[in-house]
Amino acid sequence: MTMVHTHYKVVIAGGGPAGAALAIHLLQAGIGPVLIAEAEEYTARRAGESIPSAATPLLAKLGIPVADMLTHHHPSQGIQACWGSDTPAHRTYTTPGWHLSRPAFDSQLARAAGKQGATLLQNTRVFGAKSEMGVWQLCLHGEHARICTADFVVDATGRKAYLAEAQGATRRVDHHLLGYYAWLPADTQSPVTLIEAVENGWWYMAALPGQKAAVAFMTHPETGRRLEVQKPEDWYDLLLQTTTIKKHLLSHSRPEKISVHAAHSQELDKKAGFSDSLNGWLACGDAASAYDPLSGQGITKALETSAWACHAIRDYFSGRYEGLETYNYLLKGTYRNYHTLRRQYYREEGRWPHADFWQQVHEYTPSISHLTPLTL
Ligand SMILES: Cc1cc2nc3c(=O)[nH]c(=O)nc-3n(C[C@H](O)[C@H](O)[C@H](O)COP(=O)(O)OP(=O)(O)OC[C@H]3O[C@@H](n4cnc5c(N)ncnc54)[C@H](O)[C@@H]3O)c2cc1C
């Protein structure tokens, strides 16, 4: 019989890759019971479908071996990019990365957390959290509405960083960027992620299981509005102006709907801390810091840093409260490194110096005299 807890050692708001991975790490470290409250179900399409080979060993540690990945996802052999030149550059992974079915992937991780003993409540949103007399009180809304208590809370709610903001942390947005997405019938023979820079932004295509591909146009909000890319016909006209990506479309590829996703870089000024009554909290995954999809690192970073979050929480429960400050410090440094790399990548594209998109990207980007070569 499953025991129902109303008090948890840790409550995690958000059951995306970061929240589920952290739950697994915590339970593997003997910290529990753990509750994951996830606002949705793992059925809707989500942006973010390409992960590099570096993610594979991280997933194996979390209980998802290659054999399980193969049942739902396509191996990806690397990246092909038209960036800085019309001639595609190739980067081949030494071991395969993955083109993900995101609903299946998020659900696989959540199930792995369940196997370790986490309680997962889907369609259940953490609506409020306040700490009083040494304990967090959390108000859950939705299918499993209830009040529960916890010793520690984690914000894994993605870019909105809902709980961390309520604790006084501030989101710093660095580069405004939107992803205009469609999932199209496509020739999915290409086992690489395609990237192509164009005058008004850049395109991305990842072949997914089931003869479909995720195709996205990334641009600034103003450019997106000016070009009216939210209209399927205008989006599609722009897609047909690409040189490599359009070659992978099937003839009946025109989308019915374009979905728009925030894709800016951001970080919280404070990623972990204490409530007024000195209960611990931290943010992980995109809630702590979110990367430009050009990096292709969002999910891998979420998996990797969830292990750091687990260390910080373990330290907290052992009375080593400075672990939360170390976590802040580590994530800040990682975000700084990401920023430098992002600047370098965008600097590699100089074909449209007068286009609004590239001017804005480069104006924000201080000139760097000695660039390391683009690793795509
Ligand atoms: C356009 C675009 C393209 C991208 N492409 C890639 C890519 O190719 N490769 C890559 O690695 N990354 C990519 N990313 C980034 C990647 O999607 C994220 O880094 C990753 O999803 C972060 O995982 P997370 O668990 O932190 O957040 P999320 O995946 O956002 O999960 C947060 C979860 O919290 C839930 N939630 C929100 N509020 C509440 C609440 N109050 N209570 C309970 N639950 C709540 C949400 O329903 C969601 O399931 C892309 C992102 C965008 C926007």
pLDDT tens string 36-46: 999 999 998 88
Whether 91 is covered by a domain: the verdict is no
CB 364 within 8 A of CB 175: yes
As for how many domains the chain has, the answer is 2
Determine the distance separating the centroid of ligand 1 and the alpha carbon of 51, expressed in angstroms: 13
| Residue 88 resides in a domain | no
The residue out of 241, 262, 283 marking a domain boundary is: 262
Cis peptide before 232 (omega within 30 of 0): no
5 — pLDDT class (breaks 50, 70, 90): low
Q: What is the pLDDT of residue 157?
A: 97
350, part of any domain: no
User: Is residue 365 one of the residues assigned to a domain?
Assistant: no
83, two tokens:
């960036």
Q: Are residues 270 and 304 in the same domain?
A: yes
The minimum-distance atom of ligand 1 relative to the CA of 263 is 53
Are 24 and 158 found together in one domain? yes
358 within domain boundaries: no
Residue-wise pLDDT for 254-277, tens only, equals 899 999 999 999 999 999 999 888
Task: Report the residue among 194, 286, 292, 306 best suited for mutation to probe ligand 1: largest number of ligand atoms under 8 A from its CB.
Answer: 286
Number of Cβ atoms within 10 Å of the Cβ of 197: 25
CB 265 within 8 A of CB 291: yes
Q: Give the strand pairing for 74-82 and 192-198.
A: parallel
Q: Do 38 and 142 fall into the same domain?
A: yes
Give yes or no: residues 26 and 147 share one domain: yes
- The C-alpha atoms of residue 17 and residue 217 are separated, in whole angstroms, by 24
User: Phi and psi at residue 111, in whole multiples of 5°?
Assistant: -65, -40
Question: What pLDDT, on a 0 to 100 scale, did the predictor assign at position 372?
Answer: 33
Containing domain of residue 253, as a range? 176-262
For residues 316 and 208, state if they share a domain.
no
The two tokens of residue 356 are 């609004």
Decide if pLDDT at 1 tops 50.
Answer: no
pLDDT in tens, 57-80: 999 999 999 999 999 998 888 899
Indicate whether 28 and 54 sit together in one domain: yes
239 HSE (CA, 13 A, CB side): 31
Ligand 1 residue neighbourhood (C-beta within 6 Å): 13-19, 37-40, 47-51, 125-126, 156-158, 162, 179, 216, 261, 263, 285-287, 293, 296-300, 302
202: domain CATH number is 3.30.9.100
Structure tokens at 104: 């299946």
Predicted TM-score of the model (pTM): 0.94
User: Which atom of ligand 1 approaches the CA of 288 most closely?
Assistant: 26
DSSP state of 122: T
- Shared domain for 280 and 168, answered yes or no, is yes
Two tokens, residue 170: 């501030």
Nearest residue (by CA) to ligand 1, atom 51, is 48
Q: Is the pLDDT of residue 166 over 60?
A: yes
Whole-number Å distance between alpha carbons of 147 and 127: 10
Last residue of a domain, one of 235, 262, 289: 262
Decide if 367 is inside a domain. Answer: no
The number of beta carbons lying within 10 Å of the beta carbon of residue 219 is: 26
Q: What confidence tens digit (pLDDT) does each residue in 170-215 have?
A: 999 988 999 999 999 887 666 788 999 999 999 999 888 777 889 9
Give tens-digit pLDDT for 121-147.
999 999 989 998 889 999 999 999 999
Ligand 1, closest atom to CA 20?
25
CATH number at residue 332: 3.50.50.60
Whether 331 maps to a domain, the answer reads yes
Same domain, 140 and 183: no
Q: Ligand 1, atom 19: nearest CA belongs to which residue?
A: 298
Same domain, 70 and 12: yes
256 belongs to a structural domain: yes
For a pLDDT cut of 90, what percent of the chain falls above it? 76
Alpha-carbon span 83 to 196, nearest angstrom: 6
Alpha helices of the chain — where are they, by DSSP H? 17-28, 55-61, 66-72, 102-116, 162-166, 221-227, 232-239, 298-317, 322-347, 356-364
| Boundary of a domain, candidates 262, 280, 301 | 262
Same domain membership, residue 154 and residue 292: yes
Check residue 365 and give its pLDDT.
52
Where residue 374 falls among pLDDT bands split at 50, 70, 90? Answer: very low
Using an 8 Å Cβ cutoff, are 34 and 8 in contact?
yes
Using most ligand atoms within 8 A of CB, pick from 299, 300, 303, 308 the residue to mutate for ligand 1: 299
Q: How far apart are CA 286 and CA 284, in angstroms?
A: 6
Kindly report the average pLDDT of the chain as a whole number.
91
Give 149's strand partners.
7, 137
Average pLDDT over residues 344-361: 93
Closest CA to 35 of 128, 210, 153, 192: 153
Q: Do 43 and 64 fall into the same domain?
A: yes
Question: 200 and 167, same structural domain?
Answer: no
Measure the CA–CA gap between 336 and 341, rounded to whole angstroms: 9
Percent of the chain, pLDDT > 70? 94
pLDDT at 364: 60
Give the three-class secondary structure for 362: helix
